[in-house]
Chain A
């Protein structure tokens, strides 16, 4: 048995599909009760890593453990101790809310005398009190998603895996979904979540950044932001698209991206920043009305890190 406070361990996890290395030598540990975010562009290997941890895929090399069970040899025990929810909200659309809950309760071996209580808990937390006899397929996406989460934790698993759980859901539903995740984490559930929404990444206790199958950063969101050495400036210009074109490949500029009507520009150093930027923009005839050094948003960190690691696989 491992120590009580480590919920998930990945140790040199590697997955190859033929010549393609989907996940390469990834190691990390997730503590109990932690909300651990897995961030990365599409194709970075997030889902593959999660599939290896949940016993859906066997690693080509390396190993790990989930809830104290070895992922290579004790996949069956792992499956009894985890909840899993994917972006597909895998419910049966042709069954009612109640029937879905009853099915998953049986599947996860919820004891008969606790089923009623667990069912009531799910119905309440998903806000589906008046909807229990409706076909799941008729529910709005946000409700489906909460119901799927409820079904995934019917058996009160110590560890919950969420694979891009909020894709396609409106921001308000996403916010209330995260309220539920916090509630679960408060009760001691470890949450392992993959995402590519930056705002969602901010909710995590710790973040692992993946790119091209490799782990390129791992820290709390705050420290990731602080750890960004290159200065970031927000500049105001009359035409953001033209400014991006002017700055993107300019000397001393690491990255320039639009943030609404402003521009976020990452520079190699902050020496003479204003003067240099003004010069680059003048050359292209873009008028420049001010700049401000800002703390990087997570997205800036993400973009900078991915770029430093060789760019996203699909660009």
Chain B
């Protein structure tokens, strides 16, 4: 048997064995196929920074056609919903205190008359529950815009200095689902690679088969290949699964090239597998590997721009995100899904992914070879 055929045969044997073990373990099957779908559903449905039917408490002292139309304008958008009305400001305060309302609208008596007859500035008060700063600022800006366009309709003759017309490109409705769902792919592939790779190696160390493998003709590099290829394949299968569900079920737009997405994912896998291997070299038990995986996973996701934009992080952390493969991958994924960007614009991210991946995997491999027994 030639040298290369021997190598191929051994790696193939490892990969086949690994798949057999994975599919024999119902927990593994759940982790691989159900966890991704579950994550996708959570991010697709539950995690949303969009505003929809925000509970609004109205105190209308004016009670005129004009004031009712203002309330109507707010609720007609769908962003706000009247959850209570009263004539007493104290009720509004209580509603905010108890969380029965997030927005409070107070229209003073004489609103309509100052709007129409006297032409003076009409005043309305908007109170916002700021405990959730995200929702508060979004609600505030939406409400502001609605009130302003309402004012324009009522006083069209007033000169306007700047006519500010906004339009969101690539995601016209600013639907956070379109933004979150593609990014789930990034979190998922990382988790699969990190966790499964490190657990698979450490499990063999625990039961003593790793030592058995080390005294067999299986070379270090073959062992690494045998332990990483299965999880790379699973990572790509999960990518296909999540992308399909994102497109068909959630109707997330896909404007770019599938091939490019596949290429980026392969480069991204290298990092995940590398870190997974690295964790396996420092973990004696599966629990340790599990803990270590999450210790890596959490900051990697938090510093990726998945949930919090990189541009609003402190400068030091912005620099840190440059060595985070998740950041580059999520940028690529979002650009491919929503903008249809091609390699011409994405090559810096591709280069970064390739560099980080190759670096991590070769460092992990050399450490692994030295410490695996």
Contacts and interface: CB of A to CB of B under 8 A. Distances in A.
Contacts of B245: none
Contact of A82 (B9, B215, B373): B215
B373 A107 contact: no
B248 interface: no
Given A56-B373, A107-B13, A88 B207 contact: yes
B301 to A, nearest CB: 31
Interface string B201-218: 000000111011111111
Given A106-B9, A109-B6, A76 B207 contact: no
Nearest to B25: A94
Contacts of B16: 103
Nearest to A89: B208
Contact of B215 (A56, A89, A92, A99): A56
B61 interface: no
A106 B12 contact: yes
Contacts of A128: none
Interface string A65-101: 0000000000010011010101011111111000100
A2 to B, nearest CB: 21
Given A56-B373, A79-B217, A93 B207 contact: yes
B110 to A, nearest CB: 79
Contacts of B25: 94
B1 A95 contact: no
B21 A94 contact: yes
A57 to B, nearest CB: 8
Given A79-B217, A80-B217, A92 B13 contact: no
Given A56-B373, A95-B20, A99-B20, A90 B216 contact: no
Contacts of B339: none
Contact of B217 (A51, A76, A88, A92): A76
B367 interface: no
A214 B226 CA distance: 39
B85 interface: no
Given A94-B24, A99-B20, A54 B215 contact: yes
B211 A56 contact: yes
Nearest to B13: A106
Interface in B1-48: 1, 6, 9-10, 12-14, 16-17, 20-21, 24-25
A203 to B, nearest CB: 23
**Secondary structure of the B side of the interface?**
helix
Contacts of B216: 79, 84, 104, 107-108
Nearest to A83: B215
Contacts of B208: 86, 88-90
A57 B215 CA distance: 10
Given A90-B207, A94-B24, A109 B215 contact: no
A86 B21 CA distance: 22
A82 B6 CA distance: 17
Nearest to A99: B20
B6 A91 contact: no
Nearest to A54: B215
A111 interface: yes
B82 interface: no
Contacts of A161: 215
Nearest to A104: B216
B219 interface: yes
B209 A90 contact: yes
Q: In the A-B complex, list the 3 residue pairs whose CB atoms are closest, starting with the nearest.
A: A88-B208, A106-B13, A90-B212
Interface of B: 1, 6, 9-10, 12-14, 16-17, 20-21, 24-25, 207-209, 211-219, 373
26 contacts: A55-B215, A76-B217, A79-B215, A82-B215, A84-B215, A84-B216, A86-B211, A89-B208, A90-B208, A90-B209, A92-B21, A92-B209, A95-B21, A99-B20, A103-B16, A104-B216, A106-B9, A107-B13, A107-B14, A107-B216, A108-B216, A108-B217, A109-B1, A109-B9, A109-B217, A111-B1
